[in-house]
Amino acid sequence: MAEATLEKASARPPLVALTEDEQLFRDNVRQFAEERVRPLVKEMDDKGVFDHGLINDFFQLGLMGIEVPEEFGGAGGSFFEAVIAVEELSRVDASAGVVVDVQNTLVNNALLRWGNAEQKRRYLPRMTAEWVGAYALSEAGSGSDAFALQTRAELRGSEYILNGRKLWITNAREAGLFVLLATIDPSAGYRGITAFLVEKDSPGFTVGKKEDKLGIRASSTCELILEDCRVPRENVLGEAGKGYKIAIETLNEGRIGIGAQMAGVARGAFEYAVKYAKERKQFGKPISDFQGIQFQLAQMATEIEAARMMVYNAARMKDAGLDFVKEAAMTKLFCSQVAERVTSLAVEIYGGYGFTRDYPVEKYWRDSKIGKIYEGTSNMQLQTIAKMILGK
């Protein structure tokens, strides 16, 4: 079959070589994505609801605790394996990819790096077995200006009382635990920012409406409402006033995950475009025989390969304990650009069919757009890269 041949070609070992165990892991995730996720993609996108059974499957397969040590019920794997999972799931459905991405690269990573022994004991087993995680930083007035937070946290005895609203929170509808950023002292600027572990059933905590989005429609993106929300003092993650460091460093890791998501989106659209180009006939022959189409496909393939190499390189650097901030920013910037270009070209290769919802490529294009926006806009990535190469 043309599709099988295409998949074989697109799955060849990358330059950043995978070990045998990593290849086996990748193949297992890919098989799961094809057999379990793909049949549900259109329905989830149409309804804007993520299938709860899939989330249960994610837990059963160990995809919700890839880096979590085995003593807490996790897989004891690497960050590299986490981004492989995100890429392979996103190749089929970007919404599936982002559920696993936020869980691993943001929430679990924050707990692993800054949680104390008791927090890890209390939460990590649940994060690997039953609880989805969400990361709550953005507000109406703080997007790229991430630390212009208005959500307040006031210490009263043994509890912090939180008041405010969060916007654009991924996984909010499904989540049982939120890593939530608030300020304990607005006059202190970023030095007042504090990270809290907020459980969904905390008094005064409400998940608001789900946004009706252009892309990743099955992924829940909701408002959070905190009205005298009571959070135990021991649920401060790290130290009070040090939340800015947690936010910055966690997002650096998360950007590699978004790069993996966008690489997967680009791959998925590209594979459909190649298959269609071989089948669609005009002027008596497949459109893949025309040089114009061949050159477009060649350019798409080259950019996807480059995007994947950037993702894998940044992930390897993270696992090796190297400084990867610049590489993470470059990865997210470039992969989101590639995803948008490749998916747009895929729509054009399909022609009029590509513009309809009866064919899959328009969804890939819609899903690609978020890559330039969340977890730091493209302009913010450019700013980070420029500062680092100029030493400012």
CATH number given to 245-390: 1.20.140.10
**Which pLDDT band, with edges at 50, 70 and 90, does 344 fall under?**
very high
User: Cα separations (Å) of 280 from 164, 257, 351?
Assistant: 54, 35, 10
Q: What is the pLDDT of residues 309-335, one digit of tens each?
A: 999 999 999 999 999 999 999 999 999
Q: How far apart are the first and last CA of the chain?
A: 53
% pLDDT > 90, the chain: 93
Q: What is the pLDDT of residues 137-150, one digit of tens each?
A: 999 998 888 778 99
List the beta strands (DSSP E) in the chain: 132-136, 152-156, 159-170, 175-183, 193-199, 205-210, 221-232, 236-237, 281-282, 285-286
Q: Is the pLDDT of residue 15 over 90?
A: no
Domain with CATH 1.20.140.10 in the chain: 245-390
Q: What is the pLDDT of residues 77-89, one digit of tens each?
A: 999 999 999 999 9
CATH of range 2-132; options 1.25.40.420, 3.30.70.20, 3.90.1300.10, 1.10.540.10: 1.10.540.10
> Closest Cα to residue 216, out of 304, 339, 34, 342?
339
Active site residue 249: no
CATH superfamily name and code, 134-242: Butyryl-CoA Dehydrogenase, subunit A, domain 2 (2.40.110.10)
Sign of CA dihedral 249, 179, 193, 237: negative
**Rounded to whole angstroms, how far apart are CA atoms 337 and 185?**
38
Supply φ then ψ for residue 62, to 5 degrees.
80, 15
Residues 158-162 have a mean pLDDT of 98
> Closest Cα to residue 372, out of 224, 215, 222?
215
User: Over the chain, what is the mean pLDDT?
Assistant: 95
Residues 156-162 have a mean pLDDT of 98
Determine how many CB atoms are found less than 10 A away from the CB of residue 252.
Answer: 23
> Closest Cα to residue 270, out of 338, 334, 336, 217?
338
Say if CB 211 and CB 222 are below 8 A apart: yes
Question: 88, 253, 327, 375: which is the annotated catalytic residue?
Answer: 375
Domain with CATH 2.40.110.10 in the chain: 134-242
% pLDDT > 70, the chain: 96
